[in-house]
Structure 1
Amino acid sequence: MNAKANSGFYVALSLPEQYMSSDQVQVTVERGTDDTPNNGLFAPGIAELTAFPMTAWNRLLQRHSNRSALLGNQDLQGLVSLREALHRYLTSSRSVVCNPDQIIVTSGAQQSIAIALLATQKLKPHQRFLVELPGYRQVVKVLDTFAVDYDFVDVDARTGLDIQRIVSSDSSGIYLTPSNQYPMGCSIQTEQRLHLIKWAQQNQSWIIEDDYDSEFQFDSRPFRSMQGLAAESGNADKMIYIGSMSKVMFNSLRIGYMVVPPHLVPLCLEIKDALSGDTPALVQAALADFIDEGGLLRHIRKMRRLYEQKYRLLKQCIQEAFGEDWTLVSQGAGLHVTIQWKSSVDEKTLSEMAQEVGIVVRPMQFYQPLAKPRNYGSIVLGFGNAPIEAIPDTVYALAELYYSLAE
């Protein structure tokens, strides 16, 4: 307030300098911790966060932090340096056939999925889209949000994806996780992939390939990408390839990418612009260097060894604690295992009891927005961020909970 003689008090137009000190302590209330349920023991989809080379990563961020060119608006498609680095990485590691102009950098796989779904629906509207069941529930969220008509294709632990259901449909397209289906943990074989590619060409339908967990295979060599397989026969014009850095680096990075046919790039960029605009440039610049200087491949190799150790130990502990009562139905790949049992133990009750003791047990119901009768219980356990020394005791704690419900 300002006081004027013989006039009164008036609101000041600006704050006096003595009240503008930057030394004032700001007290903030912590709203979340690393102990939130999404990061708890056996939470699926979380990478090993303590093993990431943060010192090297921070050095790369610092390298680019003073570049004023990164402070303004950026290329909606992503930095050229990152798209070129991703092109080299995808060509060599996943046999993806493309050029950097076909790559779009996004804010993670979920944004890539949203862009891909909206683009395909705009080109082929009013037709039903297909998604895996059980499957990645975020896809269904996107479809529901944008009121896209969809239906489900069953994925069975023993027989895999119902290919015949797909190729006999006239749907506008399908979303697939062919390398390591989430959550059932099975792969689409090469002959089946070729069958699906042929269907997409004949029906003029789209295949959205989410190359989830392709980097981490423990029992077999990874399949080449469906996009690369389709390009080999000149049939990649109906393929959209999606990838993310969340599992190979860390979840909060929020960088994904999509590889689309050249004719689809303008439409996808139009949709991305409407959804969010460009992607933060500083992280893109650091990631481009991380890839080009070999940091990404070194980290993937290290994590593949560590994840395999965790997988083998988890599998062994499950066998010791449960014997034949639990069956591990997923393949040796990725960052999770899928369990089934025949007893009457309710998977949701087990999940709730486990949560009370700090263990995240994801019931299969979580991945099934369409309730279907089952004669078995099933859960998903993530081992990516579980300390290897904590795995045995955590499994035995789960066994105590399970058998207390089985009595």
Structure 2
Amino acid sequence: MTEITTKNAWVTATWLEVIQSRFQGLLTAPSAAERYSKPRQLYAWMREDILSARVAAGTRLPSSRQLWQSLPMGRNAVLDALGQLLADDLIESHPRRGLFVKSMPMVAQRSLPETISLPVTQDLWLSQRAQGINQQGAPWGPMRGPFAVGVPDLSRFPLESWHRYLNHYQKNPKLEWQGYVANGGELSLRQAIAEHLLLTRGIHCTPAQVIITANTQQSIKLMAELLADVGDLAIMESPGYGGAYAALSAAGLTVVPCPVDAEGLCVEARATAQWATAALCYITPSHQYPLGSVMSLARRQALLQLASQHDLCILEDDYDGEFRYAGPPLLSLYGLAQKTDSLAKVVYLGTFSKSLFPAVQIAYMVVPTSWVPSVVAWQARQYREPGYAKQAALAAWMHDGHFSRHCQRQKQRYQARSRYISQRWYAAFGDAFPLTGEQAGLHLCAHFPAGIDDVLIAQALMTCGIYARPLSSYSIAPREAHHDTDWNRQLAQRCQRRGLVIGFGDVDDKMLPSMCSLLVKTITQAIANGLP
């Protein structure tokens, strides 16, 4: 049952406004106004409000001066109405404080309960699309806690510095920011992002090509709606990001899983006919989510060639590109397409949810120049941009060097955690359960052999307060009609993995040794006790 608190819902000023509006209604209906004298009408309304508990006991009445100055009646008429309420023992006078609605335990008051119970619908009918999304991408455990996945170190974010910038722009906004703005984002932030991408990801783009959104899922859904029709195919990695699956499915596309190995997306695993008919391909080439592999140059070139050949749009999600621990920053797929003069259509997706914090709700896309008007127009119709004051604050924060300094500090912390967890893991399990993804990001991926049920392992860990996620929960179920072929059975097996995804972004460094010990101990005991 859902409860809504109603006690003290009406205040004195609101009550006065309601009474004023009632009298205004009488002035437009002379026949009703003639029925009662004004003092009697005032008395009848206030009495009904009190008895029906629209006005709670203890509420202060408007003063007689407020009433006669606001209503079409004299002071004596107001005093007559209030006097009648006093005589009925519905209100009481407190010296120097005024008149108040009286508590009436002995009066048969038609009171409302302090809470209104609303029935919760149990038989809500969900569309097949919603059912599929819920089944495929259901959250696993709490979003925060030891080894939870996808959350940065919130305790280390410099909130004081951020709030100074945010407060400044919220207190001094441009007038246009308060209306329906449809520019694709604040120009200063788009400029800052374009400069950042050129320096770190090898992407040459103008600020106009950068479109600001609220989150990556919105970016994916926006592009899917703009570039594909309902029922079109969208190829994505499996295991892969459940949020991408949800966004593509919500846009009405049929998601086709494609397996991943140490070199990234297995381009050759999909039939040529499917590449030829697909509208989109969603991919995380720089740090595959959740396996952590990096797509090889040969695979990147092959994918760009397929996209160019079949007029396929690639959505490149670089969700944690600021945190790479081995070697120089990788050239993005978007940058590679520019460098090789590829005709492939690539949309680069980025977000600040990992580099800052998820609640900031600012992400972005880099789209081809000729697409900008259509993308901005569609965004204005469907979603709108995040608040412009917040965007301007982030632009200034980046311009003054706070963003790069924060990312550098976080990068050092995350790298140290990743190394420590890896050392403890290999000391306990050796090569029996290898790890991947150590070169970047906020998580590691442990791989189990087929005989171990990763869901049961994750459930055992959850009872101990550890929220690593089973790798099998990231697998995308194939939706093809011809499952009975040997080829598709083998493909489905390649898309299914068992293991654990271990997040370390939001882990307390002081607790890390003990949590690692508990992680290892729980897994060891579960396997020793015969847990499948």
Same fold (TM over 0.5): yes
Whole-angstrom distance in 1 between the partners of 2:249 and 2:413: 38
Which 10-residue stretch deviates more, 164-173 or 205-214?
164-173
Q: Which runs of no fewer than 5 residues in structure 1 stay unpaired?
A: 21-35
The reply on whether 1:265 has 2:372 as its aligned counterpart is: yes
**Letter of the aligned partner of 2:324 in structure 1?**
Q
The reply on whether 1:10 has 2:114 as its aligned counterpart is: no
Q: Does the aligned pair in 2 maintain the 1:134–1:367 contact within 8 Å?
A: yes
Counterpart of 2:147 (choices 27, 34, 42) is 42
**Letter of the aligned partner of 2:289 in structure 1?**
Y
The secondary structure found in structure 1 opposite 2:171 is coil
Aligned-residue offset at 1:126: 5.2
Q: Does the aligned pair in 2 maintain the 1:326–1:340 contact within 8 Å?
A: yes
Alignment-derived partner of residue 335 in structure 2: 228
Alignment-derived partner of residue 83 in structure 1: 190
Q: Does the aligned pair in 2 maintain the 1:344–1:406 contact within 8 Å?
A: no
Aligned-residue offset at 1:341: 2.3
Q: Does the aligned pair in 1 maintain the 2:469–2:502 contact within 8 Å?
A: yes
Whole-angstrom distance in 1 between the partners of 2:380 and 2:286: 30
Q: Rg bigger for which structure?
A: 2
The reply on whether 1:109 has 2:216 as its aligned counterpart is: yes
The secondary structure found in structure 2 opposite 1:388 is coil
Counterpart of 1:208 (choices 277, 298, 315) is 315
Counterpart of 1:384 (choices 505, 519, 523) is 505
Counterpart of 2:240 (choices 112, 131, 135) is 135
Against the structure 1 CA distance between its residues 4 and 385, is the aligned structure 2 distance closer, same or farther, given a 3 Å change threshold? Answer: same
The reply on whether 1:332 has 2:332 as its aligned counterpart is: no
Against the structure 1 CA distance between its residues 195 and 19, is the aligned structure 2 distance closer, same or farther, given a 3 Å change threshold? Answer: farther
Against the structure 1 CA distance between its residues 66 and 348, is the aligned structure 2 distance closer, same or farther, given a 3 Å change threshold? Answer: same
The secondary structure found in structure 2 opposite 1:37 is coil
Q: Does the aligned pair in 1 maintain the 2:263–2:296 contact within 8 Å?
A: no
Aligned-residue offset at 1:343: 7.0
Alignment-derived partner of residue 422 in structure 2: 315
TM-score of the pair, normalised by structure 2: 0.68
User: Mapping of 1:179-328 within 5 angstroms?
Assistant: 179-235=286-342, 238-328=345-435
Whole-angstrom distance in 2 between the partners of 1:339 and 1:369: 18
Counterpart of 2:162 (choices 54, 57, 71) is 57
Aligned-residue offset at 1:369: 3.2
Aligned-residue offset at 1:264: 1.7
Aligned-residue offset at 1:86: 1.0
Aligned-residue offset at 1:270: 3.0
Alignment-derived partner of residue 30 in structure 1: none
Alignment-derived partner of residue 267 in structure 2: 163
The secondary structure found in structure 1 opposite 2:510 is helix
Whole-angstrom distance in 1 between the partners of 2:212 and 2:297: 28
Aligned-residue offset at 1:176: 0.7
**Letter of the aligned partner of 1:150 in structure 2?**
V
The reply on whether 1:150 has 2:255 as its aligned counterpart is: yes
The reply on whether 1:350 has 2:457 as its aligned counterpart is: yes
Against the structure 1 CA distance between its residues 351 and 126, is the aligned structure 2 distance closer, same or farther, given a 3 Å change threshold? Answer: closer
TM-score of the pair, normalised by structure 1: 0.88
**Letter of the aligned partner of 1:137 in structure 2?**
G
Relative contact order, higher structure (CA 8 A, sep 6+): 1
Q: Does the aligned pair in 2 maintain the 1:89–1:291 contact within 8 Å?
A: no
Against the structure 1 CA distance between its residues 150 and 10, is the aligned structure 2 distance closer, same or farther, given a 3 Å change threshold? Answer: same
Aligned-residue offset at 1:212: 2.3
The reply on whether 1:403 has 2:498 as its aligned counterpart is: no
**Letter of the aligned partner of 2:524 in structure 1?**
Y
The secondary structure found in structure 2 opposite 1:173 is strand
Q: Does the aligned pair in 1 maintain the 2:221–2:247 contact within 8 Å?
A: yes
Whole-angstrom distance in 2 between the partners of 1:280 and 1:273: 13
Q: Does the aligned pair in 2 maintain the 1:127–1:149 contact within 8 Å?
A: yes
Q: Does the aligned pair in 2 maintain the 1:106–1:256 contact within 8 Å?
A: yes
Whole-angstrom distance in 2 between the partners of 1:80 and 1:6: 62
Which 10-residue stretch deviates more, 347-356 or 269-278?
269-278
Whole-angstrom distance in 1 between the partners of 2:506 and 2:394: 22
Q: Does the aligned pair in 2 maintain the 1:344–1:377 contact within 8 Å?
A: no
Aligned-residue offset at 1:216: 1.4
The secondary structure found in structure 1 opposite 2:285 is coil
Aligned-residue offset at 1:185: 0.5
